[in-house]
Amino acid sequence: MKRFSIRGLLAGARRSRHAVVAAKAAASSVPALVALLLFAAAATFSLFSLGSFHSPGAAAGDGGDVAAAACDAARGRGEWVRDAGAAPYYTNATCGFIQEYQNCMKHARPSLEFLRWRWRPGGAGGEGCEPLGRFDAARFFRLVRGKSMLFVGDSLASSHVTSLMCALSQVEAPARSRDAAAGFEHWRFPAHGFAVAYFWTPFQVRWRLTRGPPEAVGPERQGEVFAGPSDLHLDEPDERWTSAAMAHDYVVLSASHWFRRPAVYYQHGHVVGCHDCGDSNITAILKPEHAQRAAFRTVLGAMARLDGFNGTAILRTVAPTHYENGGWFDGGECTATRPVDETEDGAPEMAATEAEFYRAQVEEFTAAARRGNGAQARLRLMDVTRMMLLRPDGHPDRHGHGGGEHDGFEIDCLHWCLPGAIDAWNDLLLQMIGSSST
């Protein structure tokens, strides 16, 4: 698998290195004629500058000055700076919501150095910018009183919810409930008039297990979905969560990694291709990045024009994996002990498919925001890709479980320790909500 460096992306030039496989998924190399016909606007995959896209917080016409734009945390530019006195917002002793696979403190991670870093936004080196303000739960509650937030996505979206719930629970313990039939998990903070919902979906568009029940399955059957294949209706948003979105003031969207998995793709109710689906009757092969682009185009377009939704839709970009010397289940590891310093370590690299996922998210977001100009829904971009690419030290590696508890998946370089690096996503979320409230 090719991997792209951030420096290479910025320069618009491809480079390759030794294959580092994040998931064992075969992809056929037949000509992508069908993909070109179905996704004409997505068919060209020349690389792009990560700095060439504006976050909604600094969109054209906002009137912000150049200095303010350069320090816009949502743009994804900046560096991690060490804060020796930093303390986590919570620990596994003060928050009971942390799941085993991300509980690095419980499972004896040898050093807590990964908790001593803060994100400083800005251009190269972040000159002139202050580190991102620390999450203030009391201020967050003041800003969201009387409101609600929906998170939609996969296990990384679940980790984001858990991180936020742990941080907020230091002020008020939430009431937690599940609606298994509808697929939602709910968290309520009655003293502060705030509610959070989480809907698990690896694809966001309408989908089901190809050899499963007619409806989509829930997170308890992730293993079956991982084995696949799944049927993905790329032009149909999943109404189970889009209909619920109208009742929320904020909707945080994410998910990309599952598009690597085997799938059969549909448009207008008809099969248009597949990826690693094992069906000899389907001759059109579509790459995962084509499918992911089409799905995000559908979902973002739906949110931009969703009748009855007067809130803000936030797209959080892909968080890269950091497997080295192998991949899932075959010896891959992530043993880094500090963030990447580009001035010392050189430009980090991102798997080629993840780079294309990121490209598609940003381009489709930009297109949806442009098409939705004047729509009631407000689209915002939370660009975390580069900041997380610089954190190979933030994953559980071997410290996200007890010995032998993961059925062979012993090393995790996809998910993130909690507390940990992704707590900065809540710093970003607070800044975005605060800026939209002023």
Which DSSP symbol is given to 199? E
Are 338 and 393 within 8 A, CB to CB?
yes
Are 365 and 381 in contact by the 8 Å Cβ rule? The answer is: yes
Q: CA-based angle 117:123:127, to the nearest 5?
A: 70
Q: Report whether 339 contacts 117 (CB < 8 A).
A: yes
Q: Is 412 a catalytic residue?
A: yes
Strand-pairing partners, residue 253, are: 152, 315
**Identity at 166, one-letter amino acid code:** C
Say whether 401 is catalytic.
no
DSSP-derived 3-state class of residue 281: coil
Run of H or E residues at 286: none
Say how far apart CA 269 and CA 235 lie, in whole Å: 9
Residue 130: which of 120, 116, 118 has the closest Cα?
120
Among residues 393, 381, 430, the alpha carbon closest in space to that of 167 is found at: 430
Q: What stretches of 189-281 show up as alpha helix (H) in DSSP?
A: 222-227, 239-245
Write down the catalytic residue from 5, 55, 148, 155: 155
Burial 102-112 (b: 16+ CB within 10 A, else e): bbbbbbebeee
Of 192, 256, 415, 423, which residue is the catalytic one?
415
Three-state SS at 250: strand
Half-sphere exposure of 352 (CA within 13 A, CB side): 16
Catalytic residue among 72, 276, 412, 423: 412
Distance CA 197, CA 157 (A): 11
Angle, helix 137-144 to helix 424-437, in steps of 10 degrees? 40
3-state secondary structure of 341: coil
- 312-316 and 378-382 beta bridge pairing: parallel
Our CA angle for 257, 262, 264, nearest 5°, is 115
Q: How far is C-alpha 409 from the geometric centre of its chain's CA atoms?
A: 21
Angle (deg, nearest 10), helices 155-168 and 137-144: 100
Give the CA angle between residues 22, 27, 30 to the nearest 5°: 155
Residue 395 falls in the annotated catalytic set: no
For residue 52, the Cα-to-chain-centroid distance in whole angstroms is 20
Catalytic positions are: 155, 412, 415
